[in-house]
């Protein structure tokens, strides 16, 4: 269910989660049906993948597509709820540890300094010897 993205735009957008309100898991629907419904709703998109819990995660190509998809209330034959993926709002994927950071630097300052490296969350640990 992958669709080629526009190579001219390098937009880092948050993925959107679609959840069925009808009781039937969205991953149980035909991928072709889901693809056609999404194309009618938002046009060409980057990709769509099923999640373990039966929901779908959609990666949009533009902010306008994300906004349109967030306002969507119906997909295929049933109602859906649409929201920004929670995994985008907390750390996921690769994690790292930075040692010897001075204690007087706040976490907000660390996030600001590391924003170019796509760091969205910082947690500080202190230990006693």
- What would the CATH number be for the domain defined by 16-88? 3.30.70
pLDDT of residue 13: 66
DSSP string across 12-59: ----EEEEESSSS-GGGS-HHHHHHHHHHHH-S-SEEEE-TTS-EEEE
Residue 20 has a pLDDT of 83
Give residues with Cβ within 8 angstroms of 10, minimum separation 6.
none
Structure confidence at residue 116 (pLDDT): 83
Position 73 scores a pLDDT of 86
What's the confidence (pLDDT) of residue 93? 54
Mean pLDDT of successive 10-residue stretches along the chain, which has 129 residues: 39 73 84 90 89 86 87 82 66 67 86 83 76
Domain boundaries, the chain: 16-88, 91-129
**What is each CA distance from 105 to 92, 99, 111, 114, 122, in whole angstroms?**
23, 13, 10, 13, 12
- Which pLDDT belongs to residue 8? 40
pTM above 0.85, yes or no: no
């Amino acid at each position: 269910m992958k669709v080629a993205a526009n190579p001219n735009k390098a937009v880092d957008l948050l993925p959107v989660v679609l959840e069925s309100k009808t009781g039937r898991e969205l991953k149980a629907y035909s991928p072709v049906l889901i693809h056609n419904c999404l194309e009618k709703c938002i046009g060409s998109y980057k990709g769509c993948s099923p999640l373990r819990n039966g929901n779908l995660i959609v990666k949009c190509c533009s902010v306008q597509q994300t906004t349109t998809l967030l306002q969507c209330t119906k997909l295929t034959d049933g109602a859906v709820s649409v929201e920004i993926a929670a995994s985008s709002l907390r750390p996921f994927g690769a994690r790292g540890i930075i040692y010897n950071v001075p204690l007087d630097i706040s976490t907000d300052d660390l996030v600001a300094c590391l924003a170019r490296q796509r760091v969205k969350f910082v947690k500080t640990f202190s230990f006693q010897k």
